[in-house]
């Protein structure tokens, strides 16, 4: 039954990851036996409305899963699902609001520097920890009040609003033969994205993180990066931010198992922009002389060689990236077409 599979899929996301498959296999066998009995009793399969009613009686997926979690003392199982729901919501909104406020603050002061952006990014974990602490504190107080009084704690927001019709469709892993991305993998990818962004933002102020001892040579050399390299740099920063934001959104929405192909294609297309910037700079002047009047005669040929090398490398990468992007978009188009035809 499709609805039962969707229900189990939704519950699985909230189960302890080491035992997910085992628990779901057992629940499935038990619920299928129960369904068979119900249908044998009626002498017909359940109608869609009856199936929804039955699934609803089983309880919200998050609450079913919570019963399998080890005992928590600070926040008990009765309110833990609500706590977890509010915590995820609060961290997402904290990130969004913080990003908007930081962007407005930085841009209102004129041209943004990488140090300002880096500072804002590094302050984000502090803001998130504060949010998590406050939410946890409030729920710990509620838990204390509930356990030290005779109030019967009713499940709050998500279970009350829960309806079987809102369960997400089954992820079609068998069609692609790929294992769905695990939560741990998605978290590691988001953390890697965060540290990569921090590393990128460190580069202008501390070029040694990119070039090592070569940074000293660059400082002493007669060359300097041209404006186009800074434009290239800010494009890369923007792309990393978008990618990171998208990953965080997937984690918050619980859709990390199947990264969106559309997202991948959009990122590939947008990823070509910095390369186009490099390729279209007049005279391929990515690198300039610090003192053109003094050094042109001596370093002019070297400068042309450096700029031409940068241009060729950028062109090579652009061609490969463009081919990958086109192949990705064509595959996506074919996949969508097949899906549409298959649905008819």
Interacting residues toward another protein by CB under 8 A: 23, 25-27, 29-34, 37, 58-59, 63-64, 67-68, 150-152
Q: Of 27 and 200, which CB lies nearer to another protein in the complex structure?
A: 27
Tell me the closest approach of the beta carbon of residue 187 to another protein, in angstroms.
Answer: 25
Q: Of 149 and 280, which CB lies nearer to another protein in the complex structure?
A: 149
**E strand segments, 63-211:** none
Supply φ then ψ for residue 17, to 5 degrees.
Answer: -65, -30
Tell me the closest approach of the beta carbon of residue 157 to another protein, in angstroms.
Answer: 19
Q: Of 25 and 327, which CB lies nearer to another protein in the complex structure?
A: 25
Question: Count of residues for the chain?
Answer: 344
Q: Of 15 and 201, which CB lies nearer to another protein in the complex structure?
A: 15
Secondary element (H or E) of residue 72: none
Q: How far apart are CA 101 and CA 166, in angstroms?
A: 33
Q: Of 35 and 267, which CB lies nearer to another protein in the complex structure?
A: 35
Dig out the tokens for 208 from the structure: 């040694």
Secondary element (H or E) of residue 58: helix 48-58
Q: Of 57 and 166, which CB lies nearer to another protein in the complex structure?
A: 57
Tell me the closest approach of the beta carbon of residue 314 to another protein, in angstroms.
Answer: 56
Tell me the closest approach of the beta carbon of residue 49 to another protein, in angstroms.
Answer: 21
Tell me the closest approach of the beta carbon of residue 23 to another protein, in angstroms.
Answer: 7
For tokens 């890369």, what's the residue?
236
Q: How far apart are CA 13 and CA 20, in angstroms?
A: 8
Tell me the closest approach of the beta carbon of residue 1 to another protein, in angstroms.
Answer: 14
For tokens 């990851």, what's the residue?
17
**E strand segments, 71-212:** none
Supply φ then ψ for residue 25, to 5 degrees.
Answer: -60, -40
Q: How far apart are CA 61 and CA 164, in angstroms?
A: 9
Q: How far apart are CA 67 and CA 72, in angstroms?
A: 11
Cβ-in-10-Å burial (0-12, 13-18, 19+) of 6 comes to buried
Tell me the closest approach of the beta carbon of residue 247 to another protein, in angstroms.
Answer: 32
Q: How far apart are CA 98 and CA 121, in angstroms?
A: 10
Among candidate residues 88, 90, 112, 87, the one with its CA nearest the CA of residue 102: 112
Q: How far apart are CA 226 and CA 193, in angstroms?
A: 27
Tell me the closest approach of the beta carbon of residue 177 to another protein, in angstroms.
Answer: 22
Q: Of 147 and 331, which CB lies nearer to another protein in the complex structure?
A: 147
Rounded CA Rg of the chain: 27
291: how many CB neighbours lie within 10 A of its CB? 10
Q: Of 68 and 246, which CB lies nearer to another protein in the complex structure?
A: 68
Tell me the closest approach of the beta carbon of residue 68 to another protein, in angstroms.
Answer: 5
Q: Of 23 and 286, which CB lies nearer to another protein in the complex structure?
A: 23
Query: What is the greatest pairwise CA distance in the chain?
Result: 96
Helix axes 261-279, 292-343, angle to 10 degrees: 160
């Amino acid at each position: 039954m499709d609805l039962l599979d969707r229900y189990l899929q939704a519950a699985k996301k909230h189960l302890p990851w080491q035992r997910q498959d085992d628990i779901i296999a057992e629940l499935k066998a038990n619920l299928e036996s129960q369904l068979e009995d119900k249908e044998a009793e009626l002498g017909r399969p359940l109608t869609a409305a009856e199936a929804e009613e039955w699934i609803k009686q089983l309880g919200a997926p998050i609450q079913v899963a919570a019963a399998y979690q080890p005992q928590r003392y600070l926040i008990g199982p009765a309110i833990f699902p609500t706590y977890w729901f509010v915590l995820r919501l609060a961290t997402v909104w904290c990130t969004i609001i913080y990003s908007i406020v930081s962007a407005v603050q930085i841009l209102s002061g004129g041209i943004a520097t990488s140090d300002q952006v880096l500072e804002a990014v590094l302050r984000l974990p502090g803001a998130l920890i504060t949010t998590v602490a406050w939410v946890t504190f409030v729920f710990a107080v509620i838990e204390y009040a509930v356990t030290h009084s005779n109030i019967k704690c009713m499940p709050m927001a998500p279970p009350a609003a829960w309806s079987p019709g809102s369960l997400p469709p089954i992820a079609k892993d068998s069609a692609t033969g790929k294992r769905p991305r695990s939560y741990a993998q998605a978290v590691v990818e988001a953390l890697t994205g965060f540290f990569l962004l921090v590393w990128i933002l460190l580069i202008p102020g501390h070029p040694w993180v990119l070039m090592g001892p070569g940074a000293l040579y660059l400082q002493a050399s007669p060359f300097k990066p041209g404006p186009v390299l800074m434009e290239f740099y800010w494009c890369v920063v923007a792309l990393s931010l978008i990618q990171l934001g998208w990953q965080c959104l997937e984690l918050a929405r619980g859709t990390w198992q199947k990264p969106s192909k559309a997202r991948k294609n959009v990122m590939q297309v947008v990823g070509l922009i910095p390369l186009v910037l490099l390729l279209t700079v007049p005279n391929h002047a990515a690198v300039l002389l610090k003192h053109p009047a003094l050094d042109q005669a001596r370093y002019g040929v070297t400068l042309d060689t450096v700029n031409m090398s940068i241009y060729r490398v950028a062109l090579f990468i652009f061609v490969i990236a463009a081919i990958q992007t086109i192949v990705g978009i064509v595959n996506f188009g074919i996949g969508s077409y097949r899906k549409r035809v298959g649905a008819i």
